Amino acid sequence: MKILVLCGGTSEERDVSLRSGAGVAAALNEADHEVGIADPADHLDDDFLRSYDVIFPALHGPGGEDGSLQARLENLDIPFVGSDSQASALCFDKWHYRQVMSKGGIAMPRGDTLQHHEHSEHELAQDLHVLKPITGGSSIDTFIVRDLGTIPYQAIAQTFERHPKMLIEELIDGTELTVGILDKKPLPVIEIIPPVGGNFDYVNKYNGRTKEIVAPEHVSAETQAAAQQLAWQAHQLTGCRDFSRTDIMCDRDGRLLLLETNTLPGMTDQSLFPKAAAAAGITMSELVDQLVRLAAARQGA
């Protein structure tokens, strides 16, 4: 098939997207597809997009995974990999996502939205907490407060200038897990262990210092199976399709608490989704080939 990989874009996650796109394109070439690469920042016209059989968005952040691109491709009736515009918009808005999960009976950390002037006095800010943008990814502009005596108030104030409202959540002490869904099947669970004294933030996601363990060391097989089921529930409740990756905390009592679902997981050589697929015996070329065939099958392409 003739496949167009979209990567780059204009969000703060542009660099990661370019790396994801390069990884996807190389794997598609290996799977014997005819591959083109383009950057939505170049204002691609409709006829150019229509010249491909399937489009593979390898985009992150606003304009790529917030549903706007997906809505355009739906209007053009072009098959594309990943969730539709509604599911993409839902998962991109962390507050809306929380409401849907809550209605579905899914346990999550306590959370709320707030403006800058509300932060210091908010109930959740009186204990260890996480402050993050309502939209966005890759842990950009996210603060993980593990010590109330060293809260970076100045940096937080600057972040509120970019995000007038943010999401505050209680910080869960425990083990961070992530579970990918490929088509309708959960992939092996990955345990995320940040470097000592660090967090799983933007820097530690891509510098190779975070341990990502398939077959987690600190979580029982029973809990891993429950995490896979929870990720599948989130995938279904949000209306995701093809693939997704859901982040989950396992607290000290063994309770699983949902964090968020990513509709366009990273596809770089360090990304979690391809690592989970590899653990299931699926090579990168097999993975991207399966995804484009799922997209093509939806419209009989």
Check if 146 is active-site. no
Structure tokens belonging to residue 19: 């790396």
Count Cβ atoms below 10 Å from residue 156 Cβ, excluding itself: 17
For strand 211-214 and strand 143-145, is the pairing parallel, antiparallel, or unpaired?
A: unpaired
CA 149/CA 246 separation, integer angstroms: 31
Angstrom distance (rounded) from CA 273 to CA 204: 16
Active-site entry in 169, 262, 271, 289: 262
Identify the CA nearest to 129 among candidates 104, 106, 152: 152
> Coil, strand or helix: which one is 144?
strand
Residue 133 near residue 167 (C-beta atoms within 8 A): yes
Catalytic residue chosen out of the listed positions 93, 206, 239, 286: 206
Alpha carbon 258 to its chain centroid, in Å, reads 13
Smallest Cα–Cα separation from 188: which of 267, 86, 274?
Answer: 274
The DSSP result for 41-65, as a single string, is GG---HHHHHTSSEEEE---STTTS
Gap between the Cα atoms of 110 and 24, Å rounded: 36
The three-state secondary structure class of 28 is helix
Does the annotation mark 52 as catalytic? no
| Residue entry with tokens 């029973």 | 222
Catalytic status, residue 204: no
Q: Which of 138, 139, 199, 244 is catalytic?
A: 138
Contact 110, 170 (CB under 8 A): yes
Alpha-carbon distance of 134 to 271, in angstroms, equals: 22
Q: Which of 8, 9, 11, 13 is catalytic?
A: 13
260 is catalytic: yes
Q: Considering 84, 212, 242, 260, which one is annotated as catalytic?
A: 260
Our answer to whether residue 13 is catalytic in this structure is yes
Catalytic residue, from 64, 136, 174, 266: name it: 266
- The reply to whether 207 belongs to the active site is no
Note if 245 is an active site residue.
yes
Helix (H, G, I), strand (E, B) or coil at 111: strand
Residue labelled with tokens 């950009």 = 140
Catalytic amino acids?
Answer: 13, 138, 206, 245, 247, 260, 262, 266
